[in-house]
Chain A
Amino acid sequence: MNLMQAFKMAFKSIASKKMRSFLTMLGIIIGVASVVIMVSVVQGMNKRNMEYLEAQGENKIQVYAFQYYGSSGNVSDLLYEYCLGMQDLVIGVTPQIEVWQDITIKYGAKTFSTQNYDDWTKRLSIQLGSDQFGVCNNYTLGGGRELSFLDVEKTNKVCVLGGGAKKILFDFVDPVGETIFINSQPFLVVGWYEPTGLEGMSSMDNVVLLPYTFNRTLNNNQNIEQYVVKARSATDTTLAIARLKAFLGGFITNGENGYYDVSSNNNWADQVQEQSLMQSLVLGAIAGISLLVGGIGIMNIMLVTVTERTREIGIRKAIGAERKSIIVQFLIEAAVICGIGGLIGILLGCMGALIAGKFLLQGMILWPSSTIAVGAFAFSVALGVLFGMYPAIKASSLQPVEALRAE
Chain B
Amino acid sequence: MLIDIQDLYKIYNEGQESEVRALDGVSLQIDRGEFVAIVGASGSGKSTMMNVLGCLDVPTRGRYDLNGTDVTSLKDKELAHIRNREIGFIFQGYNLLQDLDALDNVILPLIYRGTSIFEREELAMAALARVGMDGRAHHRPGQMSGGQQQRVAIARAIATHPPIIMADEPTGALDSKTGRHVLSILQQLYREGTTILLITHDDGIAATAPRVVRLSDGKIISDAHQEVDWL
Chain A residues at the B interface, C-beta cutoff of 8 Å: 1-2, 5, 12-13, 16, 311-312, 314-325, 399-401, 404
**Is A323 a contact of B84 with CB atoms below 8 Å?**
no
Stretch of B109-117, B194-202, B206-214 that contacts chain A: B109-117
**Is A322 a contact of B109 with CB atoms below 8 Å?**
no
Since A316-B112, A320-B112, A323-B77 are in contact, a sample of 15 more A-B pairs with Cβ atoms closer than 8 Å, ordered by chain A residue number, is A2-B114, A12-B100, A312-B97, A315-B95, A315-B96, A317-B83, A319-B89, A319-B109, A322-B77, A399-B58, A400-B83, A401-B51, A401-B56, A404-B56, A404-B91
At the interface, is chain A mostly helix, strand, loop or mixed? helix
How far in angstroms is the closest Cβ of chain B from A171? 66
Give the interface centre of A16, A324, A404 by most chain B CB atoms within 10 Å: A404
**Is B56 a contact of A318 with CB atoms below 8 Å?**
yes
Set of chain A residues within 8 Å of B99, measured between Cβ atoms = 12-13, 16
Query: How far, in whole Å, are A109 and B97 apart by their CA atoms in the complex?
Result: 79
Contact of A318 among B76, B81, B95 (CB under 8 A): B95
**Is B56 a contact of A399 with CB atoms below 8 Å?**
yes
Query: Which A-chain residue is minimally distant from B113 (CB atoms)?
Result: A320
Q: How large is the interface on B (under 10, 10 to 19, 20 to 34, 35 or more residues)?
A: 20 to 34
Give the interface centre of B57, B58, B96, B111 by most chain A CB atoms within 10 Å: B111
Query: Which A-chain residue is minimally distant from B57 (CB atoms)?
Result: A401
How far in angstroms is the closest Cβ of chain A from B74? 12
B3 at interface (Cβ–Cβ under 8 A)?
A: no
How far in angstroms is the closest Cβ of chain A from B89? 5
**Is A320 a contact of B84 with CB atoms below 8 Å?**
yes
**Is B81 a contact of A320 with CB atoms below 8 Å?**
yes
Set of chain A residues within 8 Å of B54, measured between Cβ atoms = 318
Query: How far, in whole Å, are A318 and B108 apart by their CA atoms in the complex?
Result: 11
How far in angstroms is the closest Cβ of chain A from B113? 6
Set of chain B residues within 8 Å of A323, measured between Cβ atoms = 76-77, 80
B46 at interface (Cβ–Cβ under 8 A)?
A: no
Set of chain A residues within 8 Å of B219, measured between Cβ atoms = none
Set of chain B residues within 8 Å of A5, measured between Cβ atoms = 111, 117
Query: How far, in whole Å, are A312 and B97 apart by their CA atoms in the complex?
Result: 7
The 7 closest A-B pairs by CB, nearest first: A320-B84, A401-B57, A320-B112, A322-B80, A400-B56, A319-B109, A401-B56
How far in angstroms is the closest Cβ of chain B from A13? 7
**Is A1 a contact of B111 with CB atoms below 8 Å?**
yes
How far in angstroms is the closest Cβ of chain A from B76? 5
Query: Which B-chain residue is minimally distant from A325 (CB atoms)?
Result: B112
Query: How far, in whole Å, are A287 and B58 apart by their CA atoms in the complex?
Result: 48
Query: How far, in whole Å, are A21 and B112 apart by their CA atoms in the complex?
Result: 26
B85 at interface (Cβ–Cβ under 8 A)?
A: yes
Set of chain A residues within 8 Å of B151, measured between Cβ atoms = none
Query: Which A-chain residue is minimally distant from B99 (CB atoms)?
Result: A16
How far in angstroms is the closest Cβ of chain B from A124? 68
Query: Which B-chain residue is minimally distant from A16 (CB atoms)?
Result: B99
Query: Which A-chain residue is minimally distant from B100 (CB atoms)?
Result: A12
Query: Which A-chain residue is minimally distant from B84 (CB atoms)?
Result: A320
How far in angstroms is the closest Cβ of chain A from B99? 5
Set of chain B residues within 8 Å of A13, measured between Cβ atoms = 99
How far in angstroms is the closest Cβ of chain B from A394? 15
Query: Which B-chain residue is minimally distant from A400 (CB atoms)?
Result: B56
Contact of A320 among B51, B58, B85, B91 (CB under 8 A): B85
How far in angstroms is the closest Cβ of chain B from A320? 2
How far in angstroms is the closest Cβ of chain A from B109? 4
How far in angstroms is the closest Cβ of chain A from B141? 11
**Is B76 a contact of A316 with CB atoms below 8 Å?**
no
**Is B85 a contact of A324 with CB atoms below 8 Å?**
no
Set of chain A residues within 8 Å of B76, measured between Cβ atoms = 322-323
Query: Which A-chain residue is minimally distant from B55 (CB atoms)?
Result: A400
How far in angstroms is the closest Cβ of chain A from B82? 8
Set of chain B residues within 8 Å of A401, measured between Cβ atoms = 51, 56-57
Query: How far, in whole Å, are A277 and B29 apart by their CA atoms in the complex?
Result: 75
16 contacts between A and B (CB under 8 A): A1-B111, A5-B111, A316-B112, A317-B80, A318-B56, A318-B83, A319-B89, A319-B112, A320-B80, A322-B80, A400-B56, A400-B83, A401-B56, A401-B57, A404-B91, A404-B95
Set of chain B residues within 8 Å of A318, measured between Cβ atoms = 54, 56, 83, 89, 95
Set of chain A residues within 8 Å of B77, measured between Cβ atoms = 322-324
Query: How far, in whole Å, are A325 and B84 apart by their CA atoms in the complex?
Result: 13
Query: How far, in whole Å, are A389 and B111 apart by their CA atoms in the complex?
Result: 23
Query: How far, in whole Å, are A250 and B160 apart by their CA atoms in the complex?
Result: 100
Set of chain B residues within 8 Å of A2, measured between Cβ atoms = 114
Q: Known contacts A13-B99, A16-B99, A401-B51: does B57 contact A321 (CB below 8 Å)?
A: no
- Quick one: which of B57-84 are within 8 Å of A by CB? 57-58, 76-77, 80-81, 83-84
**Is B80 a contact of A321 with CB atoms below 8 Å?**
yes
Set of chain B residues within 8 Å of A316, measured between Cβ atoms = 97, 108, 112
Query: Which A-chain residue is minimally distant from B88 (CB atoms)?
Result: A319
